[in-house]
């Protein structure tokens, strides 16, 4: 016999299930490279969301559209002009299409990119920027060089490839925050508690970077980083700040990659 309590619980379960399936689809599509199965899971997630409510269905549809767009191109660290143009176009569309649909079709303007917030960064926030550089200095060489993960990035030794590597790492860092935090986390937290939305967006964040090349024990670094970035965004409501954090970390990553491929360069690291 179905009790009143179980009927009341059903609407609360469906949003969590639908959102969790979206995260599972990201794991399948990006980390496991099972595109077809991942897309089927997306379809199941949207079907489940449809029966949960119109608002949830629309928001998960926006997220799913972004995921499908970015997964439609090869996700690699290739820094050739052609690949950067293809992947860059997909990255722009993966952020722009959900934003435009939300604002001009659904007219709820759920997705926002708060840059000029008018809030000054406090002392803790400024010191955290310094801490990020120190953490990157201590962890990234230990992670990337002994594991050989740095070989997933091309060796850059001439001005042209160095410039493209620098551009690629920075653009990708900005996109991560635009998509996984300002889009995925924002849409998920409209229907779930922040901690649940955070756990799920971090799965997507980590899965994408795994496919990009952060293998070995990379998820041990990336998943907590994704959690902290979303938590900071929920407190500061500042895209500018979380992008600054990410770009500082990625600048250390850029230097480590140059050092790993050219050991006489930047001989300031632990390896």
**Domain regions of the chain by residue span:** 4-261
Give the largest CA-CA distance in the chain: 72
Place of tokens 């990006």: 30
What are 2-6's contacts with CB under 8 Å, separation 24+? none
Question: What's the N-to-C CA distance of the chain in angstroms?
Answer: 64
Q: Which of 108, 130, 145 is nearest to 253 (CA)?
A: 145
Contacts of 71-75 with CB under 8 Å at 24 or more apart are: 71/29, 71/30, 71/35, 71/38, 75/30, 75/208, 75/211, 75/212
pLDDT on residue 82: 97
Q: At what angle do helices 123-147 and 239-261 cross, to 10 degrees?
A: 30
Neighbours of 132 (CB within 10 A): 20
Single out the residue of 3, 75, 8 nearest to residue 35, CA to CA.
75
pLDDT of residue 271: 81
Question: What are the tokens at 50?
Answer: 């449809």
| CA distances in angstroms from 86 to 15, 77, 92, 167, 206, listed in the order given | 34, 12, 10, 15, 22
- Give the integer Cα–Cα distance in Å for 7 and 186: 28
Q: From start to end of the chain, where are the E strands? A: none
Low-confidence ranges of the chain (pLDDT < 50): 1-10
Report the predicted TM-score, pTM, of the whole model to 2 decimal places: 0.94
Q: In angstroms, rounded to a whole number, what is the distance separating the alpha carbons of residues 99 and 106?
A: 10
- Two tokens at 139? 């962890």
Using CA atoms, how far apart are residues 223 and 206, in angstroms rounded to an integer? 6
């Amino acid at each position: 016999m179905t009790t009143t309590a179980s009927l009341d619980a059903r609407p609360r379960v469906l949003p969590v299930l639908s959102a969790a399936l979206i995260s599972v689809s990201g794991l399948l599509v990006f980390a496991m490279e099972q595109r077809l199965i991942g897309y089927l899971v997306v379809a199941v997630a949207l079907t489940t969301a449809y029966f949960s409510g119109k608002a949830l269905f629309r928001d998960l549809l926006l997220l799913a559209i972004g995921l499908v767009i970015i997964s439609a191109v090869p996700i690699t660290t290739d820094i050739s002009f052609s690949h950067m143009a293809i992947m860059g176009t997909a990255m722009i569309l993966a952020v722009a299409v959900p934003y435009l649909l939300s604002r001009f079709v659904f007219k709820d303007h759920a997705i926002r990119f708060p840059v000029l917030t008018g809030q000054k960064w406090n002392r803790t926030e400024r010191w955290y920027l310094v801490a990020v550089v120190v953490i990157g200095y201590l962890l990234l060489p230990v992670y990337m060089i002994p594991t050989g993960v740095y070989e997933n990035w091309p060796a850059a030794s001439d001005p042209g490839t160095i410039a493209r590597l620098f551009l690629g790492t920075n653009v990708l860092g900005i996109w991560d925050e635009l998509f996984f935090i300002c889009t995925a986390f924002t849409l998920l937290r409209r229907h779930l508690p922040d901690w649940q939305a955070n756990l799920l967006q971090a799965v997507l964040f980590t899965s994408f970077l795994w496919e990009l090349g952060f293998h070995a024990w990379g998820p041990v670094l990336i998943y907590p980083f994704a959690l902290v970035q979303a938590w900071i965004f929920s407190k500061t409501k500042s895209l500018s700040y979380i992008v600054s954090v990410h770009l500082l970390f990625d600048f250390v990553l850029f230097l480590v990659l140059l050092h790993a491929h050219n050991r006489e360069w930047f001989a300031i690291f632990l390896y």
